[in-house]
Amino acid sequence: MPENRLHVHSLRPLANADQLMELLDPRIALTEGDEVSVPPRATQVLVGGRPSHGDLEACSELRMLVVPYAGIPEATRELMLQFPRIAVHNLHHNASAAAELALALFLAAAKRVIPADRGLRSGDWSIRYADGGDLQLEGKTVLILGLGAVGSQIGRVCEALGLRVIGVKRHPEFPPPATESFEVHGPEDLQEILPKADALIVSLPLTPSTRGLLDEEALRRLPRHAVLVNVARGPIIEEKALFDALSTGQIAAAGLDVWYQYPRAEEEKTETYPSSFPFQELDNVVLSPHRGGAFNRPDLERLRIEHLAELLNAAARGAQVPNRVDVEAGY
């Protein structure tokens, strides 16, 4: 076995392991486990979103954890803080899918597509003759919280639709490529910017500093005609504050793909409401069951494998490995 062999172990069996092997550098030795197996001690790269303390302790040669999706779970972040010698990386293969869904929710909410469809199915044309209601997008301002892979793509499409784009990111001095025309601010400017937003799209990771970032006071600062879209994580917006803002007309509409309650077992998949508040009763909300990641689409799973192979090959070749996570910050 060559001395420079890179030992990679996946905590769970990979659905497309054969496809991955075709793309991997021959110097990479890949093994797979399951939820109860212990990784081989020679493992240098561990692939999985929720390793245990025992997994990390078992791998004396471990130098990298690859979380095979965007973001890292809070429990994993807290665990990795105990192992600063281990670099953490993740994948952004589904950025386009998440951005596309954000835009679909934005347009559907802004143009009241769901209530119009529901009414016409019963022969009711009333919404066509109602006063106002739709948000005319051209010339308006969209505020995007989080200018990572998803937020940057959302912004570029919004700009093509004629919207002015304001972005908020942790390091505004380093704007992403192809966003030079955006007005970019740091988090400290958020409260000042909110009243300028005709639309607010959330694409931030969930971290201790972003949990509850949009509370009652923040939502009150939005214009009453504002449309809100969340394709990040539910708890970034306070649950009760969001329901109250939508049910009272404090904000006009929302498109939501991420939530506060999820099915915990197979039998709950057809009988779980997404919140303890009845968002499903509100006509001004477009509900989506967390499909931005689209983890059952074959084309996206192929992209996941390609991005994972690219990352692992870079590690095997001693090149710069993409998507390093700042564990302290959480992304």
* Tens of pLDDT, residues 98-156: 999 999 999 999 999 999 999 999 999 999 998 777 899 999 999 999 999 999 999 99
Q: pLDDT class for 176, splitting at 50, 70, 90?
A: confident
What mean pLDDT value characterizes the chain?
Answer: 93
Residue 105's SS3 state is: helix
Q: pLDDT class for 271, splitting at 50, 70, 90?
A: very high
Q: Are residues 145 and 24 in the same domain?
A: no
**pLDDT at position 296:** 65
Catalytic entry in 233, 238, 301, 307: 233
CATH number of the domain encompassing residue 73: 3.40.50.720
Q: Tell me the mean pLDDT in the region 161-190.
A: 92
Q: Tell me the mean pLDDT in the region 39-49.
A: 93
Q: pLDDT class for 1, splitting at 50, 70, 90?
A: very low
**pLDDT at position 330:** 84
Q: Tell me the mean pLDDT in the region 269-294.
A: 94
> Of residues 4 and 174, which shows the higher confidence score?
174
Cα separation, 248 vs 240, in Å, equals 12
Q: Decide if pLDDT at 198 tops 70.
A: yes
Q: Decide if pLDDT at 331 tops 60.
A: yes
**pLDDT at position 15:** 79
Give the total number of structural domains in the chain.
Answer: 2
Contact 109, 286 (CB under 8 A): yes
Cα separation, 237 vs 233, in Å, equals 8
Catalytic entry in 53, 268, 324, 328: 268
Contact 199, 106 (CB under 8 A): yes
DSSP code string of 251-272: S-EEEE---S----SGGGTTS-
| Weakest-pLDDT range from 177-186, 224-233, 260-269, 314-323 | 177-186
Q: Tell me the mean pLDDT in the region 318-326.
A: 94
Helix (H) or strand (E) holding 305: helix 298-316
**pLDDT at position 2:** 45
Determine, yes or no, domain membership for 168: yes
Q: pLDDT class for 294, splitting at 50, 70, 90?
A: low
Determine, yes or no, domain membership for 63: yes
Q: Are residues 301 and 172 in the same domain?
A: no
Distances (CA, A) of 81 to 77, 85, 88, 95, 320: 6, 9, 10, 26, 22
**pLDDT at position 177:** 81
**pLDDT at position 295:** 61
Q: Tell me the mean pLDDT in the region 73-97.
A: 94
**pLDDT at position 131:** 77
Label the pairing between strands 141-145 and 199-202. parallel
Q: Tell me the mean pLDDT in the region 251-276.
A: 96
Q: Tell me the mean pLDDT in the region 74-88.
A: 95
To the query of whether residue 225 is one of the catalytic residues in this protein, the response is no
Q: Decide if pLDDT at 33 tops 90.
A: no
Q: Are residues 71 and 198 in the same domain?
A: no
Q: Are residues 113 and 249 in the same domain?
A: yes
Determine, yes or no, domain membership for 174: yes
Determine, yes or no, domain membership for 196: yes
Q: Are residues 88 and 108 in the same domain?
A: no
**pLDDT at position 5:** 84
DSSP code string of 122-173: TT--HHHHSSS-SPP-TT-EEEEE--SHHHHHHHHHHHHTT-EEEEE-S-TT
**pLDDT at position 298:** 79
> Of residues 324 and 133, which shows the higher confidence score?
324
Q: Are residues 114 and 144 in the same domain?
A: yes
For 231, list phi and psi in degrees, rounded to 5: -120, 20
Considering the chain, what percentage of its residues have pLDDT values greater than 70? 97
**pLDDT at position 311:** 97
Q: Decide if pLDDT at 186 tops 80.
A: yes
Contacts 24+ apart (CB under 8 A), 63-67: 63/87, 64/88, 64/89, 64/315, 64/321, 65/89, 66/90, 66/91, 66/308, 66/311, 66/312, 67/91, 67/325
Determine, yes or no, domain membership for 322: no
Domain hosting 309: range is 6-93+297-316
| Residue the block writes with tokens 């710069």 | 320
To the query of whether residue 328 is one of the catalytic residues in this protein, the response is no
- Tokens representing residue 75 in the block: 């429990």
Residue 250's SS3 state is: coil
CB atoms within 10 A of CB 292: 23
To the query of whether residue 92 is one of the catalytic residues in this protein, the response is no
Q: pLDDT class for 227, splitting at 50, 70, 90?
A: very high
Catalytic entry in 290, 291, 297, 317: 290
**pLDDT at position 35:** 63
**pLDDT at position 14:** 84
Q: Are residues 111 and 60 in the same domain?
A: no
